[in-house]
Structure 1
Amino acid sequence: MSNLHQAACHCGAVQFQVRLFDGFDSIRRCTCSYCRMRGAVAVSARLEDISFVQGQDKLTLYQFNSKTAKHYFCSFCGIYTHHQRRSNPHQFGINVACLAGVSPFDFAEVEVKDGVNHPADGAGVAGLAGVLRFVATQA
């Protein structure tokens, strides 16, 4: 599978292309207060590896606490598309559910990072809080 992906929000107002420099090796969830409520699965891309096809002006920015991370979502459908990472501001976290042909349920296990004890707050290296598992049932 190529590391270049087509992506969009739910309503299609925001469309972009993104290159994942490590494929899906960086797949993760996070336990910080915002990610815990948002519930998205993310992968990493360099800032320069995202390009908007349409709708960049439809994105809304949300920031909180240290205001280092920048969380973007579609102002029409409300779907989180990506965020500039607090732990590495040179990267975006991309919502895997926005990638064409990809679902968070495609991954049997997803590491959950300890975002409550964030490394930028003096906690050192981001620890592992757990593993999220998806087990499909027979239809």
Structure 2
Amino acid sequence: MNWLLVFVGAAVGAPLRFLTDRAVQARHDTVFPWGTLTVNVVGCLVLGGLTGAVTAGAASSQVQMLVGTGLCGALTTYSTFSYETLRLAEDGARFHAVANAVVSVVAGLGAVFLGVAFANAWTG
């Protein structure tokens, strides 16, 4: 039954990633991949909060599979981040490529720590 939880979460996460990426990118007239950055940082925040909740006993392993593995797994995209960073570098937008790599890692780690801290404060 665990596979079904992952499947349902992914069935929500994948279209959510696509729609969010398109909506965010449409608002910015730049080569910088704001849409991918947004979904990855939001996914890190959600996963951090979920991890904190599971660690505190406030969320079950089933929720972890549904939201963590399924939704966040399909929402976030390391492969697209890597491809877009490489594309920026190859197209001569090296500053944007480096900025994308640095901002993605720093913001992603910051978001996951913030999510864990929020969950710890919430679950007390």
The TM-score normalised by the length of structure 1 is: 0.28
Normalized per residue, the structure richer in helix is: 2
Which of these two proteins has the greater Rg computed from alpha carbons?
2
Q: RCO greater where, 1 or 2, for CA within 8 Å and sep 6 or more?
A: 2
